[in-house]
Structure 1
Amino acid sequence: MDSRSSSSGLLPNIAEELSKSANAITQNVLPGTILRLNIGGKSYKIPSEIVLTRRVRSLMTTLITSDHEQRLTMTDAFLEDSQEYYLERNTKITDHVMEYYVTGFLHKPMDACIERFKEELDFWQLDHDNVAPCCSILPAVPKNLHEKEEILRRFSNVAFGDLRRDIYNVLEEPSSGLSAKLFSVFSILFIFSSVAGLILGSMPEFQQDNSQAHFYHLMHLKSTRDFSNKPQKFVPVQEVDNATSSFTYKPTDDPALFLIVMEYICITWFTVEYLLRLVIAPQKRIFLFDTVNLIDLCTILPFYMEMGFGWFGMNMHDRLHTITGAMLVIRVLRVLRMARVFKLARYSTGLQIFGHTLRSSLTELSMLGMFLLTGIVFFSTLIYFLEKDEPGTEFYSIPSACWWCVVTMTTIGYGDSIPKTTLGKVIATSASVCGIIVLAFPISMIVEKFACAQQKAHEEAQVRQAHMAAVAQHYFNNRFARRRKACKEDLAASVRAKLNGTSPERANGSVKSIA
């Protein structure tokens, strides 16, 4: 027969009370004593010396130093057949707890919920500080929460702190409320609209003068197709030459009016959003040098710089095309427009994790760069000396061979440069195989870091939800404490009235008079 003890929910409290008395008799434990436990159907034999050398005050220590009667109060049952004390706990996490007493390192199972893991640590009375550094998620997550709380606390020392804190939650915390979610949705829509307008503005069909758009396509068909062997529906080469001899088209110089209006609206939204974030920021210097805010600045700065050229009387469509340096600046500014795509990182956890992964993988990336550089120099030199004397060769210098080697080692293979000799083809095959091997090792480590960072982000979200639930529960407990007390008094009065045969008002009055 199994003798059952009290509810397992009281076990940690009972063990904590008994641990004080257990410390006094730790010295009296006989060497070689083995504690037999059956946890979730799995048997464990724990030597007393291992437990006592790891931690003096824990549930395991209390079980080791207690007698049979005390152990019955701390366990769920006693199995007389196997002489084991039974506990209904999770065996996966228990295995790691037992390993801690043997090795001194406490690791968290990869597939275990962080809240479930914390419950097991609390049951075994193990501090979170005992978790190994490689699994030190538990201390790091509250630190992240404290950092956010510290940011919100800074608003108490600035003017209009409450208002600025509310605006901060709307702008920076999309999950803080309905208004924050709506704001994030509008921001994402403006980002996609701006990028779509930039893409459409490069197409000849979406220019203010789109009458020559078909000539633009014919000009490119002329350079990529052979019209002499095509059906009659294709325009002959001579006709294309005559039609496009005096035609010059600049794809992004004069987009349609609705694209310009959409660009102005999006830039206005981005500008107001950036200035609003800057105004409410409690520490302006930290705000200005934050990565996400620098991206926001790069999305709006090119627009105003191009507008500034017009204010100074410089026509970009005519005069600046004759100035090489100025056109280079204009092209750089237009390329910077695409930085607005990275504004999505503010609302995408995946992009944020990817950025953190790249920063933490600088060692692997530098190693990858060194491997590629060594292979590129080696194989490009070989292919140059093997192919340079061939007629019509594309490998007329080592730098030109380096371009071919980069394309080959990264397994892209454009096909613009092809080795003609047999030895050159052997070298090309070797370069391709070496490129696969070189890319495999660092990329696998980076992918592993990304998976770990994603797991940590998932656990942080779980802890954040638990933290918010605890705060809400604490608020409601304090907010409606008097109302619940009044309800309990009324309920107790009605119960006493039924038992005593009196009216609830008289019973309630007697309770209040006693109180």
Structure 2
Amino acid sequence: MGCSPCASANAPGTSLRGQHQPNSKMEASKEKIVLNVGGRRYETYSSTLKTFPGTKLCQLTEPQAQAVSDYDPNTNEFFFDRSAKLFGDVLNYYRTRHLHCPAGVCRALWEEELAFWGIPEAQLAPCCWVKLSHTEGLQEDLDLRGNKDDTNEDSLTLLGQGERRDYHWWARWQPKMWALFEKPYSSAGAMCLMVVSLLFNLGILILFFVEPTTYIEFDHYNTTRDYNIFHVALKPSLQKAISLLYVELFCILWFTFEFFMRLTFCPDKKKFLTNLLNVTDFLSLFPVYTELFLATHINEMLDILSWLGFFRVLYIVKLLKIFKLLETPLMLKVLPFTFRSILKEVFILMMIFTFEILFFGALCYHAELQEPETQFDGMISSFYWAAITLTTVGYGDIVVVSSFGKVIACCAAICGILTIIFPLPIFLIKFQGYYATAVMKEKMKSNKRNH
């Protein structure tokens, strides 16, 4: 029983089996090839697969393709055990000459798929290239910093293994003492030490807020009509302040003991000394010891009292240790990576702000120069006004009075708003990328622990 010429020409794969030779190039270009990829059938023209010579799909149009490929003569189709979802974008590349990567596919998997079909990655569309490169950069950035934590954990594991092999006292006690002072959830004793440390921290904060009022007084003398003079002196009740100083010393002695114990048993002392919280702990030890040393020199004590107060502010920073009792939110872990990645943008933003401060400050100063009621007493005050206006804070302590100055002030406020608004999407996009990558890493770690 014969078939019609039209049916014979349109039958899939007939030209590949050599049953019918096309009479013209147009007929050859209209030949259809059926592909079965992962159980999903795709049908396309032979001319479409010839778009990129040398690739695996282009080789299917050659006469010997049936012999070298997995070809089923019953269904007239080539079979490939690959991902059908990814192949849709691969076939679309032959149709449009624009290669795009599917959403939600990691870079390694996409590169493997492109290598199988013999497609160079350089042909990837710019939009997808930027997306994959950005995601890869975030992943590498988090990996570089995450490896530090893994290295730390590995070092602790090695210490634990050394404990079983080496019976020297240092190998036995170093991991135990480090966990006791640094990891509150490692044992009940470690949790008690952390709670005691927090109680001492709260106590020293109370002293920090109360102590200055016990031995400093401000005597006000109105000597002239226009100027007020404040005389600062120590109160006669200095003994009360010194008694509180000894109470503060008791707390500091605990912090000193805790700091040097952690330093002694730390497995990585270089990393310990470069940690910001550890540096804060060390600097917060100086004010009390300095005041006790100068307790016999009351007259000299007032001169350095304000400087020691700056070091006492570090007591507040020490409260950040409370995060050891809580699981640090993933958002707080991601923020440092985000800030590091936008340092270049921040630097450019600060340069723009500096230029705007100098430009609008100088412009408004000369606009107000001829006004008798001007509040600008110099270029420095005009730069201060420009900084406050550009950041939209607007204290109102310095205002412009001339009409031209008010126009300049409006322009400065608008420029300040635009300068702040434009970098925000950069920060949000970077943060979103880091956060998504960090969530994925946390899930992988969780799955690894479960298995």
Task: Compute the TM-score of the two structures, normalised by the length of structure 1.
Answer: 0.55
**Could you list the per-position Cα deviations for residues 181-206 of structure 1 after superposition, in whole angstroms to 9, with x for gaps in the alignment?**
995897589569836963784369x9
What amino acid is the match of 1:296?
N
Q: Which residue does the alignment assign to 1:151? A: 152
CA distance in 2 between counterparts of 1:33 and 1:168 reads 71
Structure 1 residues 274 and 153 mapped into 2: Cα distance closer, same or farther (>3 Å)? Answer: same
CA distance in 2 between counterparts of 1:450 and 1:64 reads 52
Q: Which residue does the alignment assign to 2:135? A: 135
Q: Which residue does the alignment assign to 1:194? A: 201
Q: Which residue does the alignment assign to 2:318? A: 340
Matched, 1:374 2:374: no
Q: Which residue does the alignment assign to 2:413? A: 432
**Could you list the per-position Cα deviations for residues 286-308 of structure 1 after superposition, in whole angstroms to 9, with x for gaps in the alignment?**
3322xxx23222234233x1222
What amino acid is the match of 2:265?
I
Q: 1:420 aligns with which of 401, 422, 443?
A: 401
Structure 1 residues 249 and 259 mapped into 2: Cα distance closer, same or farther (>3 Å)? Answer: closer
Q: Which runs of 5+ in 2 are unaligned?
A: 1-27, 58-64, 122-128, 163-167, 221-229
Q: Which residue does the alignment assign to 1:59? A: none
Structure 1 residues 314 and 104 mapped into 2: Cα distance closer, same or farther (>3 Å)? Answer: farther
Q: Do the aligned partners of 2:35 and 2:78 also contact (CA within 8 Å) in 1?
A: yes
Q: Which residue does the alignment assign to 1:443? A: 424
CA distance in 1 between counterparts of 2:367 and 2:206 reads 44
CA distance in 2 between counterparts of 1:466 and 1:146 reads 18
Following superposition, the deviation at residue 123 of structure 1 comes to 9.9
Matched, 1:285 2:266: no
Matched, 1:302 2:303: no
| Matched-pair identity in % | 21
**Could you list the per-position Cα deviations for residues 113-141 of structure 1 after superposition, in whole angstroms to 9, with x for gaps in the alignment?**
x8xx9899999998xxx994433266777
Q: Which residue does the alignment assign to 1:240? A: none
User: How is 1:97-496 mapped onto 2 (pairs within 5 angstroms)?
Assistant: 109=104, 132-136=132-136, 147-154=148-155, 156=158, 160-161=170-171, 164-165=174-175, 178-179=185-186, 187=194, 194=201, 198=205, 201-202=208-209, 264-265=250-251, 267=252, 270-289=255-274, 293-303=275-285, 305-314=286-295, 319-321=300-302, 323=303, 326-327=304-305, 329-341=307-319, 343=321, 347-469=328-450, 473=451
**Could you list the per-position Cα deviations for residues 362-404 of structure 1 after superposition, in whole angstroms to 9, with x for gaps in the alignment?**
2111111110111001111121122244344321111111111
CA distance in 1 between counterparts of 2:330 and 2:90 reads 32
CA distance in 2 between counterparts of 1:462 and 1:38 reads 31
Q: Do the aligned partners of 1:368 and 1:438 also contact (CA within 8 Å) in 2?
A: yes
Following superposition, the deviation at residue 351 of structure 1 comes to 3.2
Q: Do the aligned partners of 1:48 and 1:64 also contact (CA within 8 Å) in 2?
A: no
Following superposition, the deviation at residue 436 of structure 1 comes to 0.8
Structure 1 residues 313 and 197 mapped into 2: Cα distance closer, same or farther (>3 Å)? Answer: closer
Following superposition, the deviation at residue 438 of structure 1 comes to 1.2
Q: Do the aligned partners of 2:36 and 2:79 also contact (CA within 8 Å) in 1?
A: yes
Q: Which residue does the alignment assign to 2:35? A: 36
CA distance in 1 between counterparts of 2:49 and 2:67 reads 9
- Higher mean Cα deviation, 437-446 or 363-372? 437-446
**Could you list the per-position Cα deviations for residues 40-75 of structure 1 after superposition, in whole angstroms to 9, with x for gaps in the alignment?**
9896869488697489xxxxxx999642459x9xxx
Q: Which has the higher helix share?
A: 1
What amino acid is the match of 2:315?
R
CA distance in 2 between counterparts of 1:192 and 1:44 reads 73
Following superposition, the deviation at residue 320 of structure 1 comes to 1.9
Between the two proteins, the alignment pairs up a number of residues equal to: 375
Q: Do the aligned partners of 1:357 and 1:450 also contact (CA within 8 Å) in 2?
A: yes
**Could you list the per-position Cα deviations for residues 256-286 of structure 1 after superposition, in whole angstroms to 9, with x for gaps in the alignment?**
9999868955x56654554344233333223
Task: Compute the TM-score of the two structures, normalised by the length of structure 2.
Answer: 0.61
Structure 1 residues 67 and 276 mapped into 2: Cα distance closer, same or farther (>3 Å)? Answer: same
User: How is 1:8-47 mapped onto 2 (pairs within 5 angstroms)?
Assistant: 34=33, 36-37=35-36, 47=49
CA distance in 2 between counterparts of 1:317 and 1:48 reads 93
CA distance in 1 between counterparts of 2:338 and 2:172 reads 35
User: How is 1:77-116 mapped onto 2 (pairs within 5 angstroms)?
Assistant: 91=85, 109=104
**Could you list the per-position Cα deviations for residues 163-218 of structure 1 after superposition, in whole angstroms to 9, with x for gaps in the alignment?**
544665676678xxx537995897589569836963784369x96699x9xx99xx
Q: Do the aligned partners of 1:168 and 1:277 also contact (CA within 8 Å) in 2?
A: yes
CA distance in 1 between counterparts of 2:249 and 2:43 reads 69
CA distance in 2 between counterparts of 1:164 and 1:186 reads 17
Q: Which runs of 5+ in 1 are unaligned?
A: 1-29, 56-61, 73-77, 220-244, 474-515
CA distance in 2 between counterparts of 1:438 and 1:190 reads 44
What amino acid is the match of 1:278?
L
CA distance in 1 between counterparts of 2:89 and 2:249 reads 57
Q: Do the aligned partners of 1:197 and 1:259 also contact (CA within 8 Å) in 2?
A: no
Q: Do the aligned partners of 1:379 and 1:405 also contact (CA within 8 Å) in 2?
A: yes
CA distance in 2 between counterparts of 1:171 and 1:54 reads 61
What amino acid is the match of 2:310?
V
CA distance in 2 between counterparts of 1:105 and 1:169 reads 50
CA distance in 1 between counterparts of 2:92 and 2:242 reads 69
Indicate the SS of the match to 1:462. Answer: helix
- Higher mean Cα deviation, 100-109 or 149-158? 100-109
CA distance in 1 between counterparts of 2:262 and 2:90 reads 47
Following superposition, the deviation at residue 105 of structure 1 comes to 8.0
What amino acid is the match of 1:298?
T
Q: What's the RMSD between the two structures over aligned residues?
A: 5.6
